[in-house]
């Protein structure tokens, strides 16, 4: 099984979410289930059904986080490298749209396009990984386009 790539920040966030789910949410859901059971007939008890559904989602997420944290590879911020890699902060100019954006290249689990954290598996990241400032690369997308690596930097 291939290791899941995570930054130190990503590991910390997952560990914090895991502790929160175990220490806060799980006991909360247990209380909801006990309270819903006390309302009587479970066959037509919407509160009980809702609590069971929430319990399922919580347990599913707990298992997902456990699986990730048991099989990850820590990637270090790539602030000193001259080439783009996972963990790099890169400023890119879309040569078609004349638009400049800054992104952090992260593993799939940490990707959040709205926060400018793109997956290393995305077409844009695949195109820029291994490139250096000043390089122009083509992004393999349904409509291919070219980008220029303006700079590499730190957060």
* Sequence spans of domains, the chain: 4-74, 77-153
Query: Which pLDDT value is given to residue 42?
Result: 67
Beta bridge partners of residue 83, listed in sequence order:
132
Write down how long the chain is.
Answer: 155
Q: Pick out the chain residues at pLDDT < 50.
A: none
Query: Which pLDDT value is given to residue 37?
Result: 83
Domain 77-153: give its CATH architecture.
Answer: Roll (3.10)
Query: Which pLDDT value is given to residue 31?
Result: 94
Q: Could you tell me the pTM of the whole model?
A: 0.77
Query: Which pLDDT value is given to residue 75?
Result: 86
Domain 4-74: give its CATH architecture.
Answer: Orthogonal Bundle (1.10)
């Amino acid at each position: 099984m291939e290791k899941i790539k995570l930054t130190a920040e990503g590991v910390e966030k997952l560990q914090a979410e895991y502790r929160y789910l175990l220490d806060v949410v799980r006991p909360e859901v247990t209380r909801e289930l006990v309270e819903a059971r006390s309302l009587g007939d479970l066959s037509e008890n919407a509160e009980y059904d809702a609590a069971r559904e929430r319990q399922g989602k919580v347990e599913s997420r707990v298992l997902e986080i456990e699986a990730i944290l048991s099989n990850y590879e820590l990637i270090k911020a790539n602030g000193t490298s001259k080439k783009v890699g996972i963990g790099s902060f890169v400023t890119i100019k879309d040569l078609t749209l004349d638009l400049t954006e800054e992104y952090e290249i992260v593993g799939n689990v940490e990707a959040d396009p709205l926060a400018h954290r793109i997956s290393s598996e995305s077409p844009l990241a695949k195109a820029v990984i291994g490139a250096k400032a000043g390089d122009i690369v083509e992004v393999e997308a349904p409509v291919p386009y070219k980008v220029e690596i303006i700079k590499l930097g730190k957060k």
